[in-house]
Amino acid sequence: MPRRRGQREAFWKEGRASFREHLDGHEVRKKVTAPTRDARKSSVSALELVTRSPEETHAIGARLGSRLRPPEVVLLVGPLGVGKTTLARGIAEGIGVDDPLSITSPSFALVNTYAGKHTVYHVDLYRLGSRHDFATVGVDEFIGAQGVTIVEWGERLPIRLPSVIIVRIRDAGGDRRKLRIEAAGKLLKALKKDAPGGCYLERESQ
Ligand SMILES: Nc1ncnc2c1ncn2[C@@H]1O[C@H](COP(=O)(O)OP(=O)(O)OP(=O)(O)O)[C@@H](O)[C@H]1O
Ligand SMILES: [Mg+2]
């Protein structure tokens, strides 16, 4: 159920008190626990993986998606054409969306919605500001409040959330991509354990 306005405001307010990291000017918190679920903080950590094909990136997304529970938010950060939508398709598959390969960037509407085990909101903020004013898109009606939200160009999100997962993608030459996943240690541990065969772990950090 969507939160009512008062509840949403309390949610943002509580989140603002615990921001930890600046992400290209947008403050986000890497800690994972949503205040509505549990006020305690869990340890921040990051996992760096290298993929060598779009299929491997998709497969990591699917493993991540299968572990996400509402109202999780995943910010995808990386340059044009690096693989954000490829990863988003994998995440959607992991959440049980039918035909995830048909997912394309919602560049006109900014948001596309898919039904899976949880509702998936796929947001693309590339054109934010040129065609759309964020306030008119209605993202704040669901983000961090219901379903699982995947945000391409996540660093452009103009609102602050108390609980996000960040995936930074970099081109490492050819079909190689470096994925840095910042999330709760528990989630990363599980991801590390069943990363697809071709991927390899580059680093993990606190
Ligand atoms: N290891 C890899 N992981 C992901 N994509 C890869 C990889 N190697 C090559 N690619 C190619 O890179 C492209 C990624 O496209 P994709 O639409 O996912 O990027 P994007 O970051 O969403 O782009 P945009 O910024 O336009 O939204 C695809 O053509 C894909 O085949
Ligand atoms: Mg895209």
CA 152/CA 22 separation, integer angstroms:
17
Kindly report the CATH number that applies to the domain delimited by 5-177+186-205.
3.40.50.300
196 in contact with ligand 1, CB cutoff 6 A: no
158 in contact with ligand 1, CB cutoff 6 A: no
Apex 165 CA angle, 136 and 22, nearest 5 = 75
Name the residue among 165, 205, 167, 172 with its Cα closest to residue 50.
172
**Mean per-residue pLDDT, 84-92:** 98
105 in contact with ligand 1, CB cutoff 6 A: yes
Report the percent of the chain where pLDDT is more than 90.
Answer: 55
Residues 6+ apart with CB under 8 A from 78: 84, 168, 169, 170
Q: From ligand 1's centre to the CA of 137, what distance in Å? A: 25
Report the range of poorest mean pLDDT among 142-151, 178-187, 194-203.
194-203
Domain ranges of the chain: 5-177+186-205
**Pocket residue to mutate for ligand 1, from 57, 86, 93, 199, most atoms within 8 A of Cβ:** 86
More confidently predicted of 61 and 194: 61
78 CA: nearest ligand 1 atom: 21
